[in-house]
Amino acid sequence: MWIPAIVAAVLLLTTLPAYAETFSFQNESSFVDETRIMHVFGEVRNDSDSAAKDVRITASFYDMDGKLLSEFIQAPKVRVLNPGSVASFEMRYLDPVTVNQVANYTLSATGQTAEAKSQNLKILSASSRLDVFGLYFINVDARNEGSETATNPIVIATLYDQDGKVVAIGEALIEIGDRVSDMSPGQNGGSGIVVTERLQTYKVARYSLVADSDQYVSEMVTLEAAGVGSSSSTDLTGSNSGCLIATAAFSSELAPQVQALRHFRDGIALNTLAGSSFMTVFDGWYYSFSPQVADFERGQPWLKDAVRASVYPLLGILDLSAEVHDLLAFNGEAAIVGAGLTASALIGLLYFAPLSAMLALQGRRRQWDMRRAKCALVATWSASLTLLVAGELSGGVLLMAGTSLLVLSAISTVILAIVRAARL
């Protein structure tokens, strides 16, 4: 009699779903709204080697004496957490009478093992704006690139402050035409998200987007946020990414290397007057040839390899330049000038070394007069600094000219220094 019971128990245990219990939490923040409801925002990460479904997060709230005041259980915004992926969440303390007694809270999560979702949903473009009333609007275009119909598709927006903390979350169903609809294979849809947390939206520095459905999920896309009265728009199809050559090399707009390049541009350079002025000139030059180079590059594996090899040192240069920027962060304009000079000098040292060696060789053969080169260099430095100061006061063309000449002066100085050293 006991043998069938044991067999039945073993079969039951093997058919029950295993629990994925390895979760961690990040980027948490909290605030109390006008109705005395406490909101806790953050992201939960699946640290296990398998996907997790039916994830449930428990927030336990305590007073100063460690007494449990309340618990709140909520699912994260994404239905299935693939291994290593994150999902935003919002927990609430709902008692306005005792909310002032909350001294701390703890978070825990459980979930069941599931099959990983394919990333066959794609975010195509996004635009955002913050109006004067504190409402944050995000419009998103997405596409189903899978072979199955994506049912119950939704887009989740997670909003972060300057420190990377989650300060608000928004979501909206995907619509096709003028109605909410499932997405057939190859079909595009749009989603209009409105974030109404007025006490939080003014803090937003960037936001991430994830499209989710019963069958598929998308990669997470992180974008810079718009300020009050302004708007931002980003095309993520690769046609106007801002990093076309790097995107073609790494075969994805969402590759970490491409995102790092964009972060330096959008998160550091474009936040200052000097940086924005230089990027205006740079973009005009870069976009004059990059689409053609990127198109050619996609069909040339050797060129992809060469571009990838050249990008990795550039990422190190930008990391060092970002550290210089942080050291001078007490003044935004001085910080971007310091970061720009650092990047320009290192780019000149690393990428123009072959040119410097060739010039040194030619100089030995022809006995170049280095004094003329030095005089020209002093003149360019003087002109660039003069234009930079004047441009900071008046903006416009003067600042674009000053920042561009400053970069060229820094690169030229390094080249001349290498040439001089090689001739000694």
Rg (CA), the chain: 27
pLDDT of 423 > 80? The answer is no
387 close to 274: Cβ distance less than 8 angstroms: no
Q: What percent of the chain clears pLDDT 70, i.e. is strictly above it?
A: 82
As a whole number of angstroms, the longest Cα–Cα distance in the chain is 104
Residues making up the chain, counted from first to last: 424
Structure tokens at 331: 């003044």
pLDDT of 370 > 60? The answer is yes
Structure tokens at 319: 């990391």
3-state secondary structure of 172: strand
pLDDT of 239 > 60? The answer is no
Structure tokens at 163: 């420190």
What pLDDT does 2 receive?
45
Reported as a single tens digit per residue, the pLDDT across 318-343 is: 889 989 988 998 888 888 989 999 99
Reported as a single tens digit per residue, the pLDDT across 56-108 is: 999 999 999 999 999 999 999 999 999 999 999 999 999 999 999 999 999 99
What pLDDT does 396 receive?
67
What pLDDT does 16 receive?
40
Q: Is the pTM of this model over 0.85?
A: no
Residue 62 to residue 67: CA distance in whole angstroms: 5
* DSSP, residue by residue, 278-308: HHHHHHHHHTTTHHHHHHHHHT-HHHHHHHH
Q: What percent of the chain clears pLDDT 90, i.e. is strictly above it?
A: 42
Reported as a single tens digit per residue, the pLDDT across 110-134 is: 999 999 999 999 999 898 888 777 8
144 close to 150: Cβ distance less than 8 angstroms: yes
* DSSP, residue by residue, 39-101: EEEEEEEE-SSSEEEEEEEEEEEE-TT--EEEEEEE--SSSEE-TT-EEEEEEEE--TTTGGG
What pLDDT does 94 receive?
94
pLDDT of 176 > 60? The answer is yes
Reported as a single tens digit per residue, the pLDDT across 219-228 is: 999 998 876 5
Phi then psi dihedrals of residue 377, to 5 deg: -70, -40
Rounded to an integer, the average pLDDT of 192-201 is: 90
Q: Please give the mean pLDDT across all residues of the chain.
A: 83
pLDDT of 244 > 50? The answer is yes
In this predicted model, which residue has the larger pLDDT, 424 or 111? 111
Structure tokens at 5: 């019971």
Reported as a single tens digit per residue, the pLDDT across 339-358 is: 999 998 898 888 876 666 66
Phi then psi dihedrals of residue 159, to 5 deg: -105, 135
Rounded to an integer, the average pLDDT of 190-194 is: 93
In this predicted model, which residue has the larger pLDDT, 149 or 4? 149
Reported as a single tens digit per residue, the pLDDT across 41-50 is: 999 999 999 9
What pLDDT does 121 receive?
95
What pLDDT does 17 receive?
44
What pLDDT does 18 receive?
43
Rounded to an integer, the average pLDDT of 142-159 is: 95
In this predicted model, which residue has the larger pLDDT, 189 or 238? 189
pLDDT of 10 > 70? The answer is no
What pLDDT does 422 receive?
63
pLDDT of 281 > 90? The answer is no
3-state secondary structure of 361: helix
Which structural domains are found in the chain, ordered by start?
2-113 (2.60.40.10), 117-237 (2.60.40.10), 240-424 (no CATH)
Please report, for residues 133, 170, 174, 182, 302, the alpha-carbon distance to residue 177 in angstroms, rounded to integers and kept in the order given: 28, 21, 10, 12, 43
